[in-house]
Structure 1
Amino acid sequence: MRKIYIAGPDVFEQDSKDIGKRYSNLCKEYGYEGLYPLDNVVDFNQEKKKIAKDIYKANKDLINSCDIVIANLNSFRGKESDSGTVWECGYATAKGKKVYGYLHRSNSYQEQFSSEEKMSSKDGFIDLQGRVIEDFDYPVNLMIACSVEKIVVGDFEDVLKILEN
């Protein structure tokens, strides 16, 4: 059975274990085994940095063992996707895994900035700190947009439906 690593900031939700079970069950319905980061067994009775290293290694091992990554690329604590999720996507891509992302919106990265958050410049638009806001008509940074197989507007199950075809 092919395996899907379930990436995203969902692990930070208060009901994260329930979310993981729901996604894993959806994977099973579509003929896959879902690998959720919180499925890992980690000893939380040790130094914080050791816990972090153990989580890192366990998640990396899950990615190594999967065939596909499905990543929640929705904005997290700002306008960008979760940095841990982006790292997982990059790592999986470098390992030759198929990576798919999903978003609840279709607008471009630049369109996420309101008129109060951006200004015109000779280079297009800049943010309030004077930095150019990239404009490639992708909903996320070009490096993630160009490295994934597809970004689906929808949710986790919508990606599974695409894999089915």
Structure 2
Amino acid sequence: MRTMTRCTTTLFFWSCIFWSGITGCVATDTRFVDNWPSIPLPSNRDNTAAYAQAVGLRRSYVACLMAADDVPKARIDCASQEARYQRMRKQQALTRLLSSHVGIEGKQIRAEERRWITFRDDFCASDDDAETDVCLVEQTADRATQLEGRIELAHVDTPAHEFSAN
């Protein structure tokens, strides 16, 4: 019989699996567990540049959106260009993160990614195609930034001797 037990401490989320007498426990930093969007959305146009910089949107994308104003076709064109870049950025970060987490941690990250996709799709659902496309780009950039932060945090938390070229 397989069961999963979870308990939360200050910063870490412990997952333990008890299966056929084999026990495995993993600590996951709770700052990243289903925290989406990880960077609050701008409340007005004046905060757009700061938000774009925080989530890693390119300046060319922000300029394109500003020039497009509220013309749906133009906004969709802007989003399609940036979407390719942000998907690649997120996938590279996810691949790097998964390469450093094997076993239970890797499975947890993959399950988290599936939950994020569900969140993103629900969060960005709209009758307005332009708004949906812009939202998808922004949420993908936010997720890429979050994953990149986890990679950096893992390197900070890793002892220096693990980076030596021995």
Give 1 or 2 for the bigger CA radius of gyration: 2
The structure where helix makes up a greater share of residues is 2
The structure where strand makes up a greater share of residues is 1
Using the size of structure 1 for normalisation, the TM-score is: 0.29
Using the size of structure 2 for normalisation, the TM-score is: 0.29
